[in-house]
Amino acid sequence: MKKITKTVNRKRSGMIHNDKGMTLIELLAIIVILGIISAIAVTVMTKVIENTKDRAFVANALALKEAATFYIRQEIAEGNNPKERITYKELADRQFIDSFTDPDTGNYLQPSEESYVEIIGTRVAAVCLKGEKRNLCSKNGLDTAIPIDELSTDLISPN
């Protein structure tokens, strides 16, 4: 008689005691759900990382532009006319910019003649930055410096 009373009391309170634990189907369902969630998270994180690398590449091009601006100001202060093209190597040699890292590889991008800024009058008009794997030097299929006001991650192309 006591046993029946306990069962009835548990049912009334909404608590049915189950000593079996989780079934294999329930465990498989949880594993599948966790797998789906992790796949979505990996995809989203990969996209975030790629976007960050793109923005860092554009920021490097803007740093090249800023260094060239200081170079131009010094040339003008010394009574010289600025050149029409200033290379990343020249800016680094004259200590207007330090070597910066390529966001794709993490290696320092060695100053070279391939990366440069173009000058019109006394201002920087366009920039061309070549990394190890990609560049900001082509627009509409042409290999040319990109105007400063048009710099964007959309213009990054593979080498």
pLDDT (tens digit, 0 to 9) for every residue of the chain, 159 residues total?
Answer: 455 545 545 555 555 655 667 788 889 999 999 999 999 999 999 999 999 999 999 999 999 999 999 999 999 999 888 889 999 999 999 999 999 999 989 999 999 999 999 999 889 999 999 999 999 988 777 788 999 999 999 999 888
d(CA 129, CA 115): 5
Residue 102 near residue 131, CB atoms below 8 Å: yes
pLDDT at residue 30 in the model? 93
d(CA 156, CA 46): 18
How many residues are there in the chain? 159
State pTM to two decimals.
Answer: 0.74
Q: How many CB atoms lie within 10 A of CB 19?
A: 4
pLDDT at residue 19 in the model? 61
